[in-house]
Amino acid sequence: MTKKKRILIVDDDVASTRLLKLNLEHANAYEVRVENGPEEALATAQDFQPHLIILDVMMPRIFGGDVAARFRADETLRQTPILFFTAAVGKRRVAEHDGVIGGFPFLAKPADLQAVIECIEKQLSRQMDQTSFCRSDRVCHASFSLPARPGVQSRSPATAMLNCPVCAEE
């Protein structure tokens, strides 16, 4: 019997994380833990030691990029794949960039269960192949947020990554 892969979902939306957890567990290939408080995500991940982390970008009090940076700074979690699952970026934008924005895989909300499972399996297989994205050890140089400038419409964290001049060169 194959051991189930551990998936940690970090998202402040209790209802959607509960539904995603139930659906992934029903697929019978995953053991899923949910953390709805981004401040507690690092401690939960250290305890659970997931094979993959599904992380929302836009959460109250702390951006998903900051949470990802905490994971990358932790020796035991540094190589754990992170899949950003967010409504901050539309499906068309994700598709235009082959599902990778700022060096991280992105999946736009809402997504059907099959798309989520395919993305999870893709990331897990990349990890097993010992391949990773160009920035497996750090978060995009744009740090998921840019200071607002007078007269300029604020950009979403994902848009900031797309426009990061350092990431664009890599």
Question: For residues 116 and 94, is the Cβ–Cβ distance under 8 A?
Answer: no
At 124-164, the pLDDT tens digits run 887 665 433 433 333 443 333 333 333 434 344 444 444 44
Q: What pLDDT, on a 0 to 100 scale, did the predictor assign at position 90?
A: 66
Per-residue pLDDT at 137:
38
Question: Residue 48: what pLDDT?
Answer: 96
For residue 110, say if its preceding peptide bond is cis, omega within 30 degrees of 0.
yes
Q: What domains are there in the chain, each with its CATH number?
A: 5-169 (3.40.50.2300)
Looking at the whole model, is its pTM more than 0.75? Answer: no
Per residue in 91-110, pLDDT (tens digit) is: 777 666 666 766 678 787 88
Task: List, as one string, the DSSP characters of 138-153.
Answer: S--TTTT-----TTS-
Q: Is the dihedral of CA 32, 123, 77, 11 positive or negative?
A: negative
Q: How many residues does the chain have?
A: 170
